[in-house]
Amino acid sequence: MLFSPNRVPSRCANLILEKTSSIYVYEKDRSYFEQCFKELRVLGRGLFGEALEVECRETGNHYAVKRALHTFESAGNRQLKLREATNHEAIPPHTNIVKFEKAWEE
C-alpha cells in the first residue's frame, strides 16, 4: 500500500489494484515496485511486512510503502489484505494520519 505524507488530493483517489504509471512496462524481470519507486530506507519491519520510505521515479514525490514479506497463504488471506486496503482508503482526511494513495498486487 502506498501512503502519502501530504494532503494533496491524489489522481488515484479510489482503491486501485492495477499497476498505473507512465513509466511502467510489464516485464518478468522487474516488478512494478522496482520500476516505479526508488527505495530510500526501511521505516519499520515486523513478522508479516515492512514499511519503506520510497521516491516515485515518475514524480519525485516521497511515500511510505507497506510491503508484505510473504505471499498470500489462501484466497481468504488475500481477501483480508484487500479489505485492509479498502479500510485504509475509507479513512477520512486527518492531520495526524498519512493519506492512502493506492494499493497493488505483485
- Binding site for ATP, by residue number, is 66
Q: Indicate the annotated binding residues.
A: 66
The residue count of the chain comes to 106
What is the DSSP pairing of strand 49-56 with strand 62-68? Answer: antiparallel
3-state SS class at 52: strand
- Edge-first strand listing for the sheet containing 37-45: 37-45, 49-56, 62-68, 2-4, 99-102
